[in-house]
Structure 1
Amino acid sequence: MSIRMFVADLDGTLLNDKGEVSRGALAAIERLRSRGVEFIPATGRSLPECVHVMKAIGHEGRMIAAGGALVHECRRGDVLLRRPIAADLVKRLVEVVSRHGHLAHLLQDHTATTHDYLMIGEQEFDPATKWWFDTLPLTYRRIEKLTDMDAMHHTVRVGTVALGDELGAVAQDVEATLGGLVTAQHWPALTAEKAIQTRTHLLETFAARVSKWTSVAALAALDGVHREEIAAIGDGLNDFELIREAGLGMAMGNADPRIAAVARVQVATNSAEGFAESVERALAS
C-alpha cells in the first residue's frame, strides 16, 4: 500500500539542532503535499508552544499536540480531539509532585481557559521553566495551593521540571499511587539543556492510554486509513508507540536507542537532513 499519512515529531526530528526547519525539510514537506500525502506534526508541545513552527512550514491542517492529548486544526486552532485528565486524578498528581518538593505544571486546553498553564506551588521557577515562558508566547496562572477543584478542569497534562535525575523518584511515586490510571513519562529536556546549559529533566503525566499513536489511530480510523498506509518518524521516548505501531516506523539517527530498536528504518540525524531522508523513504515504499 502507498503511504497516505506521514506523522512527524518536531524537536529532534523536523527541527534541527538550532530549533529551525531546514530548506531540505521544507522541500520534503512540499513533496508530501504534492503527492497527496497528509502531513501531521505530532509533538509534546501545545499548539501555542509550536505555532511559530506551523507558520514556518505553512501548515494549516491537523496536528497532534501535548503528546496526543490534543488534536488541533491549525488554520483556526480549533480542537478536534481532547483527552483531559479527570479532575480528581489531577488533584492526586499535584499532591504527588508537591510531596517531592516540586512546582506542578498543569498544561490546560487554552481554548477552554484564560491561560496555557496553571502553576501550583510556592517554589520559584527553575531556569528551564523561566526560559520557556520568556521565549514563547505563553500565559500562565499561578496559585500556591490547590484549593479550587474547578481550576483542575481542562487539564491535559500534569508535569514538573527538575535539574539532573531528581524526577525518577517522582515517577516511581506516580506509578505506585496511580499506576494504570494515568500514563507517565520522564526524560531529559534536550531543547532546554542546549539553551541554558543545564541538565534539565521533564516529568509528564497524561490520562490513561494517551499517546501520539492513539491520536494518530483515531484520525486514521475517521479517514479509513490503514496502519500500513501510515509512516512516522521520531527520536524521543514519547514517540515509542508511534514508531512501533506505524506501518513504516522510522527513527532519526539521533534517536534514543529504545526508539531505534523498534523502528523499521533509521535515517540520518536531525542536523544532517534525516527528516528529508525519511520522507523519501516513505514515498518510495
Structure 2
Amino acid sequence: MTYRLLALNIMGAFSQNKGRVSKATKEAIEYAHKKKVSILLFSEREHAFVKRIAKALHSESHLVAHNGAYVISSQNKPMYIQRISEDDTFDLIQFLESFDCQITVENESFSVSNKGKLPATLVKRTIWQRTQKFLYSQYFVDSLGEHLLEERISPLSIQATFHNSEERDEALQALANMFEHINFISRDQNKIEMTATGVSKWNSIVYVAEQLGISRSEIVVIGISEDDEEAVQQAGTGIAMGNADPKVKEVADWVTRTNKEEGIAYVVKELLRHQHKHAIEEMNKVD
C-alpha cells in the first residue's frame, strides 16, 4: 500500500498535557514530510486555531477548518470556501434566539456571539488570538438578530449550545425541516454545529486529494471525533485514535494508541515504515 496523503484531526495531536502538541508528534509529521507524504490537518474549529496547531507542528500542511467549509493550501492560499447564505443565516438566528441558547457565528477572520449567560468578565472584553500573519477576533452582542440587521454576515459555520439535550433535540428536528441548504451536526455538550449543505470533513479531504492528483486509496485518515466516522470509513486506510468516539473505532481499519500514549507518532511511523518496506519489495520484484 502506498500512502500519499495523511489527513488527521488536530485534536489527536495533543498529548493531553495542557493541550500541547508533543515532541513525538512533531517528529512523526516531520518524518512523513521526509517521506514525501502530503499532510492535511482538519477540524471543526476555526481557521485561526487550526493554523496555530500547524505552526506548532512546524508543518507546511493543507488545512481544513469549520468542519470542511474552509480549505487552505500548504502555501496558505484559500482553495475552497463554502458559506451559509446571508438570508439563511438571518432566518436561522431568528429561530435560534427563540431558545435560551448560546449562539456563535463564525467566519475565517472573526466570530460574533450573543451574550447569553456567559460570565460578565468574558463578554466585557474582545478576545484576540494571534497566529502568524493572522488575527482572529471574538466579540459579543446583546442580540445576534439585531446585529445582523445592521451587519449582514455569510458565515462558514454557526454553533448553538443549549442548556439540555431535550431542547437541543427539539431545535434540531425543527431546523432540519426548515432549512434545506444547511447541514446540522449534533454534538455532546448539547451543541449543534451548522454549515452549508454538502460541507463535510471528508468532502474537503477528497477535494484536496483530487487537486494533488492523489487517489482515495492513497489517503490515510486519523480520526477522533464522532463526525470523523465518514472520513475514517471512506479513506483508503482509516485509523481511529485509542480515545476516539466508539463509532469511529467501529469503522476504522486500525485503532492506534491514545493521545496520552502518542497514538499519532506511533501509527505514522508504523505506516510509513511498512510503506518503505513494501517499496523495496516491489523494486526487488522488478529486478
TM-score above 0.5: yes
Q: Does 1:125 align with 2:118?
A: yes
Q: Tell me, which stretches of 5 or more residues in structure 1 are unaligned?
A: 111-115, 189-199
Q: What's the Cα RMSD here? A: 2.4
Of 171, 195, 203, 1:206 maps to 195
SS at match of 2:97: helix
Alignment of 1:144-155 (within 5 A): 144-147=143-146, 148=148, 151-155=151-155
Contact 1:157–1:205 (Cα < 8 Å) also in 2: yes
2:260 aligned partner: 271
Contact 1:233–1:243 (Cα < 8 Å) also in 2: yes
Q: After alignment, is 96-105 or 33-42 more displaced?
A: 96-105
Question: 1:69: Cα distance to partner?
Answer: 0.5
Q: Tell me, which stretches of 5 or more residues in structure 2 are unaligned?
A: 131-135, 276-287
Within 2, Cα distance between the matches of 1:50 and 1:41? 7
1:175 counterpart letter in structure 2: A
Give the structure-1-normalised TM-score: 0.83
Question: 1:163: Cα distance to partner?
Answer: 4.7
Alignment of 1:95-134 (within 5 A): 95-110=94-109, 116-119=110-113, 121=114, 123-125=116-118
Within 1, Cα distance between the matches of 2:154 and 2:271? 36
1:90 aligned partner: 89
Task: Summarize deviations over 1:130-167 as a string: whole Å, max 9, x none.
Answer: 7xx75944413444242546734330101123455352
Alignment of 1:1-285 (within 5 A): 1-11=1-11, 13-18=12-17, 19-73=19-73, 77-110=76-109, 116-119=110-113, 121=114, 123-125=116-118, 136-137=129-130, 138-143=136-141, 144-147=143-146, 148=148, 151-165=151-165, 166-178=167-179, 180-188=180-188, 200-283=189-272, 284=274
SS at match of 1:139: strand
Contact 1:105–1:117 (Cα < 8 Å) also in 2: yes
Contact 1:70–1:82 (Cα < 8 Å) also in 2: yes
Against the structure 1 CA distance between its residues 279 and 145, is the aligned structure 2 distance closer, same or farther, given a 3 Å change threshold?
closer
Q: After alignment, is 165-174 or 146-155 more displaced?
A: 146-155
1:233 counterpart letter in structure 2: I
Q: After alignment, is 155-164 or 210-219 more displaced?
A: 155-164
Task: Summarize deviations over 1:20-43 as a string: whole Å, max 9, x none.
Answer: 111211111011011000011011
Give the structure-2-normalised TM-score: 0.82
Within 2, Cα distance between the matches of 1:207 and 1:149? 21
Contact 1:93–1:158 (Cα < 8 Å) also in 2: no
1:216 counterpart letter in structure 2: I
Contact 2:93–2:144 (Cα < 8 Å) also in 1: no
- Size of the aligned set, in residue pairs, is 262
Task: Summarize deviations over 1:1-35 as a string: whole Å, max 9, x none.
Answer: 41000000011x11122311112111110110110
SS at match of 1:270: coil
Within 1, Cα distance between the matches of 2:33 and 2:221? 16
Contact 2:159–2:194 (Cα < 8 Å) also in 1: yes
Within 1, Cα distance between the matches of 2:152 and 2:117? 21
Against the structure 1 CA distance between its residues 242 and 80, is the aligned structure 2 distance closer, same or farther, given a 3 Å change threshold?
same
1:82 counterpart letter in structure 2: I
Contact 2:8–2:41 (Cα < 8 Å) also in 1: yes
Within 1, Cα distance between the matches of 2:118 and 2:200? 27
SS at match of 1:3: coil
Contact 1:126–1:161 (Cα < 8 Å) also in 2: no
Task: Summarize deviations over 1:233-259 as a string: whole Å, max 9, x none.
Answer: 011022122111111011111111111
Question: 1:216: Cα distance to partner?
Answer: 0.9
